[in-house]
Amino acid sequence: MNIIEVVNDSQKQLFLDLSRILYKNDPNFACPLDGEIDGIFNPKENSFYKHGEAIRWILTNESGEPIGRIAAFINTNKAYTFDQPTGGCGFFECIDNKEAAFLLFDTAKNWLKERGMEAMDGPINFGENDNHWGLLVDGFIPQGYGMPYHKAYYQNFFESYGFKVFFEQYSYHLDRTKGLSKRFLKIAEWIAKKPGFEFEHFKFSNSEKYINDIIEVYNEAWKFHDNFTPIDIEDIRKIAKEGKGILEEDFIWFAYHEGKPIAFFVTMPDLNQILRKMNGKLGFWNKLKFFYYLKRKTITRARITIMGVVPKYQRFGIESAIFFHMNEAIKKKPHYTELELSWVGDFNPKMISIYESVGGVRMKTHYTYRYLFDRNKPFKRTPIIPLENRGTKASEE
């Protein structure tokens, strides 16, 4: 077996093609777009390179055929906020061969150790944790856009190597055809109409205002978190720009108190329902196909990716009020029959309670693992978020 750093176009193609090879006959798999994955490893496209570095490798057999891959990265804004400097590994794929898997893990570990890291989390993303984060261990069904899908045998690879579960990630599904409970809607409507509170949805015509509102809420809601790093406004601008024509404006909601933004709620159409027909390619003809399926209302599921409320207002039931407005918006688009509420960490009981109170059913579980290089050092799971000083966020890490 040969481990090769990905540096040229042919190696990049091998890295991308491996997932198509491994999941060729799996109807649940939606291949991520090649451009999206390549963009993560492009300093011109990924703002995390401003405060970090990344590398990726492909593993080949004696015939030069790809049999595994992995990436490693260091986010210096976050690496030193833990008990030990911690990097990450991700985009792991491998044939069912433990020797090959361990060689990939060793390669990532050694690269991180050479750069002063003392632990690695995985599989994670060199970016925000709402995409490509965690190992699927339960619920091997079609994943929402951004949520990773894996081979069932990967769990044994990670745990046999010595990774331990740092936190669990849950995805809930809500059957829109059944509607929300009458009790929940009654309470939510009452909260939504309280004096001094206003709710409005995103509008592309005034996108810069809403982008700044997201930044303000985000920074206020999570500044107390042990591993908090401010969100990059350019990342939000990029998402808004690329999402024009795809995002539903009234699926992104904001709450205000006396004119001040206090919460936001982002829901995105599940593009995987179309992308699984594209096999990771988005050339001219596939772009035409994409917008054809989009116009035909092929997408029937939306994924809630993030929800935030500043601490001062988290006991006001703002989340319920936003769900109320979201529910009213979805009623006008009956082709959306399902909501995926993902992901929420096991360390965030408040969000779990909210998801369950609206009727969400836990359908999928991902694990984020941590591997300590010093095998004698005591392992600590991520702590539960105290209610008194945390904003509400589903995918908080």
Give residue 393's pLDDT band: very low, low, confident or very high (50, 70, 90): very low
Please tell me the distance from the alpha carbon of residue 392 to that of residue 321, in angstroms, as a whole number. Answer: 14
| pLDDT for 363 beyond 90 | yes
Average pLDDT over residues 13-26: 96
Instruction: Enter the tokens of residue 200.
Output: 């409005």
Residue ranges, comma separated, of all CATH 3.40.630.30 domains in the chain are: 2-169, 174-365
Q: Which of 153-162, 312-321, 341-350, 354-363 tops mean pLDDT?
A: 153-162
**Residues 61-101: tens digit of each pLDDT:** 999 999 999 999 999 999 999 999 999 999 999 999 999 99
Average pLDDT in the 123-148 region? 95
Are 310 and 262 contacting, i.e. CB atoms less than 8 angstroms apart?
A: yes
pLDDT at position 392 = 45
Q: Is the pTM of this model over 0.75?
A: yes
Report the SS3 class of residue 2.
strand
Distance, in Å, from the CA atom of 32 to the CA atom of 38, rounded to the nearest integer, reads 10
Residue range 2-169 in CATH 3.40.630.30: yes
Q: Are 248 and 304 in contact (CB under 8 A)?
A: no
Residue 223: pLDDT over 80: no
**Mean pLDDT in the chain?**
91
The pLDDT-based confidence of 386 (bands split at 50, 70, 90) is low
CA distance 4 to 327: 49
Is the predicted pLDDT of residue 103 greater than 90, yes or no?
yes
Residue 305 has pLDDT above 90, yes or no: no
Judge: domain 174-365, CATH 3.40.50.300.
no
- Check residue 390 and give its pLDDT: 44
The alpha-helical segments, DSSP class H, found in 80-197 are: 98-114, 154-161, 182-192
**pLDDT higher than threshold 70 for residue 380:** yes
Three-state SS at 225: coil
With a cut of 80, say whether residue 391 has pLDDT above it. Answer: no
Q: Above 60 in pLDDT, residue 250?
A: yes
